[in-house]
Amino acid sequence: MNDQDPVYDVAISFLYQDLALAQALYDELSKGLDVFFSPRNQEQLAGSDGLDSMRAPFRSQSRLNLVLYRPKWGKTPWTGVEEIAIKESCLATSFKSIFFFVIEPTTEIPTWLPETHVRFNFADFTLEEAVGAIKARVQERGGQFKPMTPSRKVALLEVEEKYQRDRRQISSDEGMRKIYENVESLFDEIAKQLEATNANGHLNIEHQTKLCFGEIDQSCLLGTQRLGMAIVWFQRYSNILDNNTALFVREFNQSPIIPPGYIPLQQPLMLKEDKYDPDISRTREYVWRPQRGKGELISSQDLAEKLVLQFLDLVERDRAGKVAREVWR
């Protein structure tokens, strides 16, 4: 296939945590361009050879490969396959077929990307400006932005309505069961991360897990002698998700793990609280959405890593004397 007859104008490669941004770009670009976006193409991928279907859009079927880059990109199974295909496309087009969109500040850029290649930073662009820049690159590559038609609009609305119907299933019995499984998966992954962290002998972080569905909360507690974190899934009623339902993440200036027979003299001071809501991604996986921030979707595995790193950051702050503590007089 040559540059004059691609199947797609743009193919988007992204990490799972950037699904919300990838979706926003897809929504805008697909109003007038043909866009390959994997959550929209799951049926196509499922019905053909997996690896070839993953590679082809990026290797030879798209005018422009849009990479939403973080240092972890290319190191996951899915993006690793896409990276190989994108490199092949770059070599065939003298790097004219790539739009490299850096999502977080970093100096860790792939060595195969020439230093002279233009990189766009998310922090420096609004979504509208990014879409305009991508459209311009597509036009440079021979593509045309096609005006929206009634039939195209109806097709987009149909896909969106189906996704919203599936999202509403999160409150069903099956949805509740999958949320519980996601909580359990999160706590298991945190335990694995802590085992790996403790293995180097520099720190000893205790953890304690409570999983007994049907009770009000499920918890995973992390603690050292001076610090603590509580990750709590709170659901007031076992069959209802209300406004108070959330995954709470709280930092403390003492360990929340109480040894048997020990009576603490004072309650630990809560230093910070974050909340995450359960959600369903466009790939129909159960994920977590922070109540604050840009609305990114996070898998349980990625959230576990994030929370362990957050606890280690708390340790670092404490060693620098930046954690509030009660002054005894």
Q: 277 is written with which tokens?
A: 């809501």
Decide if 155 is inside a domain.
no
Q: In terms of residue numbers, what domain contains 68? A: 8-148
237 and 310: one domain?
yes
The DSSP letter of residue 145 is -
189 and 305: one domain?
yes
Helix (H, G, I), strand (E, B) or coil at 298: strand
Using 50, 70 and 90 to split pLDDT, how confident is the model at 329?
very low
Residue 293, phi-psi category: left (phi > 0), alpha (psi -120 to 50), beta (remainder): left
Give the DSSP per-residue string, 215-275: BSEEEEEEE-SS-EEEEEEE-SBTTB--TT-EEEEEEESS-S-PPTT---SSPPPEEEEEE
Decide if 42 is inside a domain.
yes
Decide if 324 is inside a domain.
no
Decide if 165 is inside a domain.
no
Residue at which a domain ends, from 101, 116, 148:
148
Q: State the residue for tokens 């129909």.
A: 284
- Cα-trace Rg, the chain: 23
63 and 136: one domain?
yes
Strand partners, 286: 280
23 and 123: one domain?
yes
Q: pLDDT per residue over 249-258, tens digit each?
A: 999 999 988 8
180 and 315: one domain?
yes
186 and 308: one domain?
yes
75-98 core/surface letters (b: 16 or more CB in 10 A; e: else)? eeeebebbbbbbbebbeeeebebb
249 and 109: one domain?
no
117 and 185: one domain?
no
* Type of residue numbered 71: P
Q: State the residue for tokens 């990014």.
A: 130
Q: pLDDT per residue over 1-43, tens digit each?
A: 444 579 999 999 998 888 888 888 998 998 899 999 886 544 4
176 and 282: one domain?
yes
Closest residue by Cα to residue 56 from 77, 41, 72: 41
Stronger pLDDT, 60 or 17, i.e. the higher one: 60
209 and 261: one domain?
yes
6-22 core/surface letters (b: 16 or more CB in 10 A; e: else)? bebbbbbbbbbbbbbbb
Total structural domains in the chain? 2
113 and 177: one domain?
no
Decide if 212 is inside a domain.
yes
* Helix pair angle (173-198, 300-319), 10° resolution: 40
Strand partners, 155: none
Decide if 119 is inside a domain.
yes
pLDDT > 90 in the chain, percent: 51
Give the DSSP per-residue string, 19-77: HHHHHHHHHHHTTTS-EE-GGG-HHHHHTS-HHHHHHHHHHTSEEEEEEEE-TTTTSSH
Stronger pLDDT, 283 or 32, i.e. the higher one: 32
Q: What is the CATH number of the domain that holds 138?
A: 3.40.50.10140
Whether 120 contacts 103, CB under 8 Å? no
Q: pLDDT per residue over 233-249, tens digit each?
A: 998 887 788 888 999 99
Using 50, 70 and 90 to split pLDDT, how confident is the model at 294?
low
Count of Cβ atoms closer than 10 Å to residue 203 Cβ: 12
Decide if 104 is inside a domain.
yes
Strand partners, 98: 65
Strand partners, 58: none
Decide if 329 is inside a domain.
no
Average pLDDT along the chain: 86
206 and 118: one domain?
no
